[in-house]
Amino acid sequence: MSATSFGWLVLAFPLAGLLVIALAWRVLPGRSAGWIGSAAILGSFLSSIAALIDLQDHAENNRQLVDSAWTYASTADFNVDLAILVDPLSVFMCLVVSGVSFLIHVYSVAYMGGDRGYARFFAYLNYFVFSMLLLVLAANFVLLIVGWAFVGAASYLLISFWYRRGTATYAGIKAFVMNVIGDVGLVIAAFLLLRETGQLDYLGVFEAAQDEFSRNDGTLVAACLLILVGAFAKSAQLPLHTWLPDAMEGPTPVSALIHAATMVTAGVYLIARCFPLFELAPTAADVSAIIGTLTLLMAASIALVVTDLKRVIAYSTMSQIGYMVLGVSVGAYGAGLFHLMTHAFFKALLFMGAGSVIGAMAGIQDMDRMGGFKRAMPFTFVTFAIGALALAAFPLTAGFFSKDEVLAFTINRGGGFWVLAIVGYLAAAATAFYAFRMVFRVFYGEAVPEANELEGGHVAHGEPVNPMTGESEDTDVGFPGPEHHIAERSLPMKVAMAPLAVLALVAGVVAVPGVTDTLETFLDPTFESSRYHDTAPTEGSELIGLGIGGLISLTAIGAAFVVYLRRRGLTLELRDRFARVHGFLAHKWYFDELYDAVFVRPMATLGTFGRRVIETDFVQGFIVGGTTGIVRAGTSFARAIQTGFLRAYALLLLFGVAALVLYFLIAS
């Protein structure tokens, strides 16, 4: 079997899993829906590995393989095929996506065990993985857009999984609408590229672009900016980022899978994939780098003050994706993608750990009410701490190598990029700080009642309420189930979290500067035409960068230690003294309010206007009422003749006869 047939298998397994679960869910016993879903993703992962092996068998210059299953449309000028592209980049993405997805499926088998919508959840998850794999395997913009849209739909379905919760459905709608904005940008970009180059498949477009466009050509910059719109909507960067914190309404495995490891990285993948276009339009690439940097700073600042555990992790995701976007925008494709991979590992791990903690808290997510779980939940504590260390880029963890490599590349570009790099280092300090803020607040300190209960032997149970608004719920379908699962009690969860913890620690080994560059060489065939290919920073500068990064990380962790463990109450003092700043950060830089005022309210007013004036008064009253009024008046007029009065009819008859006779008289 060739690499491309393995590529089709990668797509076929989750699709099959989806169909089986969706069609047969009523007859599937117990938790088998979960195992079927997980098995499907495992099949996908194994197929990715097989594709990888087969791909490496090809010669180095022959590793971009396209296979077409079917032609959608065939015109005189070009064809649109249902085609997949199996090359190092897509295989890399497949491995990351399917691998992490498999572990999350296993985690969910236990975590979603008591939920009435269990089978539905796994159907949706499989659908999501299928869409994501379709997105990364697509060989042309059409299939990319199909996968893009499917992923958006899957995200909506999964965010509003607990559909009877009002906040969840609103969040799902918000995510979907913002994703659609991105979709529109992407589609228009595809149109522009089609018009200029006459092709839609990647390899064709990238080649034709070299000939068609001069450097920084207006149309190309426009197309790239539109691609960025799509990428930023999906990856939750400024200004289309407001949906990601709200998306935490979904179940924790959803947050782990979609909003940490895979879907939000689709934008990064897209920018990396379209790198020839971005290199031809440096303006767009620079815009992308700047926005990535702004986002990572903004998100890190918000994560410092937010108190909902999942939202801290969400903002951290936003921030880390900023790093990835920065990486692939400055030409550090290998580094950016490496950070994508390591981020997938430690972020999924963090979310899984958070899920465990929230389970122990019987659904409460507020960090203000957590504390002292270290003794009660040792496994969760260890894995969570590992994840936090990786996030903070603690020396020798995976995150350390990946994040600092990105920053090293940025510095290497020189000029204005120094500013971006410095901002990056600042945010790295903040990242380390808030990562350990989470660890110290949740696991250290005084044990809260739930933790004591847990040590005593049973998981706390509270009334089911909406964690955001406090309104009470039940545990029937559409709401979370009555059971709360923690990793300590549940083998599947441990089995899922352990490999990630290991990977978060050791995955850095694939890209130690100067020692190994496995990832770079692997991704080489895709990126060899890049102009930055040979401008990697020297070993020395990389090591310096790593050193600086490590130092920052350690300092920030130390600071967090002091603030949260030694000097209690300091944070409260700071909050009171800098109340305005704190308010600004706690309100997420007032973006939601801004969008509400600029977009939502005018649209609502327009809609009301449309309903009242246009629909009711104009259409109903004037057009419909007017037309019927005219007809009615006309017929009333005609009805007046129908008096039913016999003699009047006779009179008319006679009148007609008289006229007729007169006519004949005159005519003859």
Partner 1 sequence: MDVVWFLVLSAFIFVIGAAGVLTRRNPLVVLLCLELMLNAGNLALIAFSRMHGDGDGQIFALIVMVIAACEVVIGLGIIVAMYRRRLPIDVDEMSELRG
Partner 2 sequence: MWFEQVLFFIAALGALAGALGVVMLRNPFYSVLALVGHLLALAVLFLLLHAEFLAAAQVVVYAGAVMVLYIFVVAYIGGSDEPLRPEGGLVNAFGPLFAAAIGVELCIAFLASGLKAIDTRGADIGSAFGNPGGIGELLLTKWLVAFEAASFLLLVAAVGAVVLARRRRGLEEEGAAPGPRRPTPETETLEVRA
The contact set with partner 2 (CB under 8 A) reads: 643-645, 647-648, 650-651, 654-655, 657-658, 661-662, 665, 668
| 109 CB-near residues (< 8 Å, 6+ apart) | 31, 34, 35, 38, 492
668: contact with partner 1 by CB under 8 A: no
Centre a 10 Å sphere on the Cβ of residue 617 and count the other Cβ atoms it contains: 12
Q: Please, are residues 400 and 549 in contact by the beta-carbon 8 Å criterion? A: yes
Shortest distance, position 624 Cβ to partner 1, whole Å: 25
Helices (DSSP H) in 331-465: which residue ranges? Answer: 333-360, 378-391, 398-413, 417-443, 449-456
Q: Please, are residues 149 and 128 in contact by the beta-carbon 8 Å criterion? A: no
Centre a 10 Å sphere on the Cβ of residue 29 and count the other Cβ atoms it contains: 6
Shortest distance, position 639 Cβ to partner 1, whole Å: 5
For residue 600, the partner it binds in partner 2, partner 1, none, with Cβ less than 5 to 8 A by kind, is: none
- Report the residue number, 515 or 665, with the smaller CB distance to partner 2: 665
- Report the residue number, 472 or 636, with the smaller CB distance to partner 1: 636
- Report the residue number, 491 or 654, with the smaller CB distance to partner 2: 654
By rule CB under 8 A, what string of x and - marks binding of each residue 529-548 to partner 1?
--------------------
Shortest distance, position 643 Cβ to partner 2, whole Å: 6
For residue 665, the partner it binds in partner 1, partner 2, none, with Cβ less than 5 to 8 A by kind, is: partner 2
Give, as ranges, the residues between 639 and 658 that touch partner 1 (CB under 8 A). Answer: 639, 641-647, 650-651, 654
**Of residues 273, 304, 149, 259, the one with CA closest to residue 205:** 273
Q: Is 274 exposed, middle or buried (0-12, 13-18, 19+ CB in 10 A)?
A: buried
- Report the residue number, 570 or 653, with the smaller CB distance to partner 1: 653
For residue 662, the partner it binds in partner 2, partner 1, none, with Cβ less than 5 to 8 A by kind, is: partner 2
- Report the residue number, 53 or 653, with the smaller CB distance to partner 1: 653
Centre a 10 Å sphere on the Cβ of residue 267 and count the other Cβ atoms it contains: 29
Shortest distance, position 642 Cβ to partner 1, whole Å: 3
Shortest distance, position 668 Cβ to partner 2, whole Å: 6
Shortest distance, position 635 Cβ to partner 2, whole Å: 20
For residue 604, the partner it binds in partner 1, partner 2, none, with Cβ less than 5 to 8 A by kind, is: none
Q: Is 214 exposed, middle or buried (0-12, 13-18, 19+ CB in 10 A)?
A: exposed
- Report the residue number, 418 or 655, with the smaller CB distance to partner 2: 655
Residue 347: strand, helix, or coil: helix
Give, as ranges, the residues between 610 and 639 that touch partner 1 (CB under 8 A). Answer: 639
Interatomic CA distance for residues 429 and 435, integer angstroms: 10
- DSSP states along 503-556: HHHHGGGGG-TTT--HHHHHHHHHHTT-TTTT-PPPHHHHHHHHHHHHHHHHHH
Q: Specify the residue for token string 């379209």.
A: 274
> At residue 272, what is the residue type?
A
For residue 641, the partner it binds in partner 1, partner 2, none, with Cβ less than 5 to 8 A by kind, is: partner 1
> At residue 471, what is the residue type?
E
Shortest distance, position 660 Cβ to partner 2, whole Å: 10
For residue 515, the partner it binds in partner 2, partner 1, none, with Cβ less than 5 to 8 A by kind, is: none
Interatomic CA distance for residues 608 and 618, integer angstroms: 14
Shortest distance, position 648 Cβ to partner 2, whole Å: 6
Shortest distance, position 624 Cβ to partner 2, whole Å: 34
- Report the residue number, 562 or 654, with the smaller CB distance to partner 1: 654
Joined tokens for residue 606: 């327009």
- Report the residue number, 580 or 647, with the smaller CB distance to partner 1: 647
For residue 578, the partner it binds in partner 1, partner 2, none, with Cβ less than 5 to 8 A by kind, is: none
CA angle 7, 12, 18 (to 5 degrees): 145
- Report the residue number, 535 or 643, with the smaller CB distance to partner 1: 643
- Report the residue number, 491 or 657, with the smaller CB distance to partner 2: 657
Interatomic CA distance for residues 579 and 511, integer angstroms: 43
CA distances from 352 to 36, 168, 316, 496, 497 (A): 21, 20, 15, 9, 7
Shortest distance, position 649 Cβ to partner 1, whole Å: 8
Interatomic CA distance for residues 638 and 632, integer angstroms: 10
For residue 27, the partner it binds in partner 1, partner 2, none, with Cβ less than 5 to 8 A by kind, is: none
- Report the residue number, 631 or 650, with the smaller CB distance to partner 2: 650
- Report the residue number, 70 or 645, with the smaller CB distance to partner 2: 645
Would you say the C-alpha torsion 206, 136, 161, 467 has a positive or negative sign? negative
For residue 668, the partner it binds in partner 1, partner 2, none, with Cβ less than 5 to 8 A by kind, is: partner 2
Shortest distance, position 636 Cβ to partner 1, whole Å: 10
Q: How many helices (H) and strands (E) does the chain have?
A: 28, 2
Size of the site for partner 1 (CB under 8 A): 11
| Chain positions contacting partner 1, by CB under 8 A | 639, 641-647, 650-651, 654
